[in-house]
Structure 1
Amino acid sequence: MAERQVQNLVDTLAERLGRSVVLDDTEVNLLVASRHYGDADEQRVRAVLQRDVGGAAIGHILGQDVAHWTSPGVVPAREDLGMKSRLCHPIRRQGRLLGLLLVIDEDQSMTPQEIEEVVRTGEDIGAILYGEQLSQDEHRRDQEAAVVELLTGDTARPETAVRTLDRLGVLRHGAHVTVTAVTLDDRAVAVETTVAELALRVATAGASRSRPAYTASAVLSTRGVLLQTWENNPTWERLREQATELRDAVGSVLGHSACAIAGVGGVHAGLHEAHRAYDEALVALRAAQRVARLDGLALADELGALDLVLRLPETELTPARVPEPLRRLRCQDPHGQLLETLRCFLDLAGSRPATAEALHIHRTTLYYRLDRIEQITGLSLDDGSNRLLLHLGVHVLEVVG
């Protein structure tokens, strides 16, 4: 009934104005659209036909700071998106943003009387949306509370949280469970907290709709989280692809000035292991932030010894934790050639032929470099304890680098 009432209000407004009108939710997802009035652009056609506004368009609209508007304003055109100028009226009730009423206004010719008509319609729609959102808020709160319980292990009876997610229809039992976490890179341009949270919600909600796995999404602190169950064991390639899409979705909303990073926990058996998958996802997220070669995306299964290093307290992850012999090597190896050789040699279990092949160098060159490493560090590479110290040290260096 509520949807029909809102549709009637939007259709009536569009007919009075003789312009195309849409109602979006606070995350710029299409809720209701009027018929065309000869002014449709590529963006509107996409939104209506595909029910998908697109991350770039969402980012453009949110980039005008519409979430904080209290009166109608103009969202400028974007030719590259096939998007004409729009009048945007933020629908609010008791201070809460409930939706965005957008009217195509290519030449910005709407009169004050027409804009007032938009505002009056927005008030009527707001009264309807307010009741709807109270119900949706309860749904979201229940979902996120259940997700928090499962992921953080804050409940002695996880069955209650599992039943809640099952009741809400967002998650089902599956043979396997995974957790993917995404957040903004600390080194990115500062983004307001509310805008960052909105971007994380848009991205995780989008992943929830598009994936074959059963998914419950939540925003915990500064992280967007996907808790998923799978009937078939998902491949690491599939999880990496999904995490990449999640990062891209956040970046698309916020623009390229903000960079998202992602971490994927291991694949575990059943929802009762969700807290383990989440713990691993957080370590992987830390690796994505600190280890440059991972390029902002880390999978727990690929961390190896880095997992041990990254579980040290933040106060311990300083250059002082790098073994002294390795610090000497770094000081006397300004181009990093010896360090790269050592890392490769240790990763390949001390195999000289394999190391020479991997580095594309002659064995004589490799032997010379290994001799120099031993001279500088004062450690024999034939000693297993020395190799263990240096290998862990290389990982520490990579993390604190």
Structure 2
Amino acid sequence: MGSDALQALVEQLAEELRRSVVLDDPLVRFICSSRHFGDEDPVRIRSLLQGRADSEVIRYVLDQGVARWSKPGYIEGRDDLGLLARYCVPLRTHGHLLGLLMVVSADKTLTPQETDAIAQAAPAIAAQMYAEHLAAGTEETGTQELLLALVGASPAERSAAQRRLLDRGLLPDAPHSVVSVVQLAPSHEPPGQVEVALRGSLERFRQTRSAHGILAVTAEWAILLQLSDQPLSQRELTEQSTQIVEALATYLDASAAPVLGIGGRQNGVADAWTSHEQALVAARAARRMPHLKGIGDWEELGEFAVLLQLPDRFLNETLLPRPLRALREATGGQRLEETLRCFLEHAGSIPRTAEALQIHRTSLYYRLRQIQEVTGLDLDSGADRLTLHLGLRIQELLAPRGDSTTV
């Protein structure tokens, strides 16, 4: 919610115009609003009741490019969204987008006198927003620097950051910690918008019923450290991560391609750096493995947690075992590879593999003999099975979605 000073400035402009005025942040999230003048629409009413606009409305407004506007303009209404046209003024200071000043004008017929009044009021509103932004930013910057030191490479800096975070009451001395990392691909969003979107998507998790957290945010990535009296459950972390990724999809265009990695659950502040390292690996998994749908969890990665610590230059076709490459190149190689994968996933059980593939056991035995002939390996050998199974796992990592940013 906006401060009393911002509320007074918005009310003053609305009374002069005799029109409804709304002040939103750069993510089209509600800050404050004037009283109604009979021009309210369903979007305005829902925003007042819910404290925010619907995701579809937010995406529609952002798709108009308002974050890039250098001057005021009209946002077209949308009957299906319950949105009347609005005159939108981007509020900027030193090129930084602070917020969006919206004046409802269903017929887009603001007079020159009205637009002049808005133009005269906008600088004072922007100045007040900037002052509040600076006040909040100073504290955030200090906290961010401590968090980066806490998860950094230097044990001495980690120890010092831990003491300062606890002494200042920025974090509780709780026994359980977990770090989540969000990474974005380079996008077409205007400067500053990405950082605002990351902060807006994560800030609700700085304080929950289960945990207390702090953030570090840049224009490409974000870190969220959470401390709690009880370990956060996998279900809670998955739901949280899904909400973050969905929020980013609302605030940013598809080119941002966000991925999120959840680190292992560790012991208190002192071991947060370990969770951070694991979260980076989990985020790399989310980038390389499409079936994870943008969210990787260290504790669910299994053997991939080891493989993904190899440098990118080694994660290529040459890492595949020669027998597996021979199988892929053989006649009917795809069918044989699928058979092999199913056989290994079912721990070499003939009945369960045949049932899963929906083929007769005789057909399965025939395929397995073919696999052994092509690969030269013995499927009764644990070492040979491990070679093939590991090769299949590596193969899953060789079609990356994009480059990851190192945090």
TM-score (norm 2): 0.89
- After superposition, the Cα gap between the structure-2 partners of 1:319 and 1:27, relative to the gap in structure 1 and judged at 3 Å, is same
Greater alpha carbon shift after TM alignment, 19-28 vs 303-312: 19-28
- Of 302, 310, 314, 2:308 maps to 310
Instruction: State the SS of the aligned residue for 1:130.
Output: helix
Give a deviation string over 1:200-241, Cα, whole Å, max 9, x none: 222112444666421223324622332212222222122122
CA offsets, 1:132-152, max 9 Å, x none?
221111122122212212223
Q: CA deviation at 1:307?
A: 1.4
AA aligned to 1:14 is A
Paired residue for 2:403?
none
Are the aligned partners of 1:60 and 1:253 in contact in 2 as well (CA < 8 Å)? no
Paired position in structure 1 for 2:231: 233
Instruction: Mark the CA change 1:190 to 1:90 in structure 2 (over 3 Å): closer, same or farther.
Output: closer
| TM-fit CA distance, 1:256 | 5.5
Q: How far apart, in 2, do the equivalents of 1:254 and 1:27 lie?
A: 9
The one-letter code matched in structure 2 to 1:148 is L
Residue equivalent to 1:249: 247
CA contact 2:149–2:157 (8 Å) conserved in 1:
no
Residue 10 (structure 2) pairs with residue 10 (structure 1): yes
> CA 1:160 to 1:78, structure 2 compared with 1: closer, same or farther past 3 Å?
farther
SS at match of 2:3: helix
State which drifts further: 190-199 or 229-238. 190-199
Contact 2:341 2:392 in 1 (8 A): yes
Structure 1, 16-25 or 153-162: larger mean CA deviation:
153-162
Look up the SS of the partner of 1:336 in the other structure: helix
Shift of 1:105: 1.2
Report 1:295-306 matches (<5 A): 295-306=293-304
Aligned residue for 2:20?
Answer: 20
1:182-197 equivalence runs, <5 A: 182-184=182-184, 191=189, 194-197=192-195
Following superposition, the deviation at residue 399 of structure 1 comes to 0.5
Q: Secondary structure at the match of 2:91?
A: strand
Worse-matched range after superposition: 67-76 or 370-379: 67-76
Worse-matched range after superposition: 236-245 or 49-58: 49-58
Residue 43 of structure 1: aligned partner = 43
Work out whether residues 194 and 219 of structure 2, in 8 Å CA contact, stay in contact via their aligned partners in 1: no
Per-residue displacement from partner, 1:152-172 (whole Å, max 9, x unpaired)? 344624354345555776643
Q: CA deviation at 1:346?
A: 2.4
Q: Is the aligned partner of 1:107 residue 2:111?
A: no
Give structure 1 stretches of 5+ with no counterpart: none
Mapped partners of 2:171, 2:295: distance in 1: 25
Q: Which residue of 1 aligns with 2:65?
A: 65
Q: For the structure 1 residues 340 and 198, does the alpha-carbon distance in structure 2 shift closer, same or farther, using more than 3 Å as the test?
A: farther
Q: Distance in 2 between matches of 1:192 and 1:124?
A: 24
Deviation per CA, 1:50-83, whole angstroms, max 9, x where unpaired? 2123433333333333233332122222333322
| 1:181–1:322 distance in 2 versus 1, CA, 3 Å | same
Pairwise mapping of residues 167-186 of structure 1 onto structure 2 (< 5 A)? Answer: 171-184=171-184
- Which residue in 2 is equivalent to 1:348? 346
How far residue 192 of structure 1 moved from its aligned partner, in angstroms, is 5.3
- Correspondence for 1:118: 118
CA distance, structure 2, for counterparts of residue 77 and residue 210 of structure 1: 36
- In structure 1, the partner of 2:145 is 145
Q: What is the total number of aligned residue pairs between the two structures?
A: 398
Deviation at 1:333, TM superposition (A): 5.8
Q: Does the C-alpha gap of structure 1 residues 292 and 132 become closer, same or farther in structure 2, counting only changes over 3 Å?
A: closer
Q: For 1:221 and 1:4, locate their aligned partners in 2 and report how far apart those are by CA, in whole Å.
A: 30
Question: 1:78: which partner in 2?
Answer: 78
2:368 aligns to what SS in structure 1? helix
Instruction: Using structure 1 for the length normalisation, give the TM-score.
Output: 0.90
Amino acid at match of 1:94: H
Q: Deviation per CA, 1:301-342: give whole Å up to 9, x if none.
A: 121111111111111111111111111111226573322222
Comparing 217-226 with 164-173, greater Cα deviation is found at 164-173
RMSD: 2.6
Partner amino acid, structure 2, of 1:97: L
Q: Does the 8 Å contact 1:208/1:216 carry over to 2?
A: yes
CA distance in 1, matches of 2:59, 2:124: 27
Identity of aligned residues (%): 39
Q: Distance in 2 between matches of 1:395 and 1:317?
A: 11
Determine whether 1:136 maps to 2:160: no
Where does residue 292 of structure 1 map in the other structure? 290
Distance in 1, Cα, partners of 2:189 & 2:318: 32
Distance 1:211 1:56, change over 3 A: farther
Counterpart Cα distance in 2 of 1:76 and 1:159:
54
Does the C-alpha gap of structure 1 residues 55 and 157 become closer, same or farther in structure 2, counting only changes over 3 Å? same
Residues 166, 45 of structure 1: alpha-carbon distance in 2 compared, 3 angstrom cutoff: farther
What is the 5 A alignment of 1:207-226? Answer: 207-208=205-206, 212-220=210-218, 222-226=220-224
Give the secondary structure class of the aligned counterpart of 2:266. Answer: coil
> Which moved further from structure 2: 209-218 or 144-153?
209-218
Change (3 A) 1:400 1:23: same
Give the conservation status (yes or no) of the 8 Å contact 2:26–2:193.
no
